[in-house]
Structure formats: structure tokens, C-alpha cells
Amino acid sequence: MSEYQRATGAADAPVRRAGGKGKPRGPRSLSAVVSTAATRLLNEEHKAEKKKVQALNAAVDRASLLASGRGETLSDKLKASISAKADSIWAAKK
């Protein structure tokens, strides 16, 4: 439910912390959202034994969609961090 609310709500709306206690948390940065989404997708693709190049392209595509949905663009720095994460995931043993 909270994912649906975040996806359909305003991007600047603060989100309450777990349990509803404390101060509202500020909106997450683009780099935080992109890094989390890309890492999860890369891990799923690695477990499914997909090739690194295919998974990297899928992660960059998803990151680009997330960025465009927030009205921003995906920087080269973020693309490099996704590529580095893919390298570290595929370098690790299963």
C-alpha cells in the first residue's frame, strides 16, 4: 500500500517513518531511489543466471524510467554506479 501511495502521490510529500513515530522523513533523492531499484533488479537477474550485459541494460532502462517519472535525467555518475554494482554482483560467488 505504501508503495502505491508513493508512486501515485506527490514526489515532495514527506513520508512518515516506520511505526508513525518521530519527524516526517524528507523525500528520497533520485540517486537513492535509482540505486535501490537497480541493485534489486541486478540481484534478481543474477539469481536467474542472466548475462551481466542484459541485466545492466535492464537496470539502466529501469533507472531511466524512474528518473523521467520524477522529471529528472539519469546522469553519467549514476550510470557508472549501476555498472560498478553489476560488476561487484557478478564478481561475487553465488
pTM reported for the whole predicted model: 0.72
pLDDT (tens digit per residue) in 12-64: 556 665 666 667 778 889 999 999 999 999 999 999 999 999 999 999 999 99
Strand, coil or helix: what is 15? Answer: strand
Mark 51-63 as b/e (b = at least 16 C-beta within 10 Å): ebeebbebbbebb
- 52-69 helix and 76-91 helix, angle to the nearest 10 degrees: 150
Tell me what the mean pLDDT of segment 61-73 comes to: 94
The size of the chain, in residues, is 94
Predicted confidence at residue 27, as pLDDT, reads: 85
Is residue 67 very low, low, confident or very high in pLDDT (cuts 50, 70, 90)?
very high
What is the pLDDT, as a whole number, of residue 53? Answer: 95
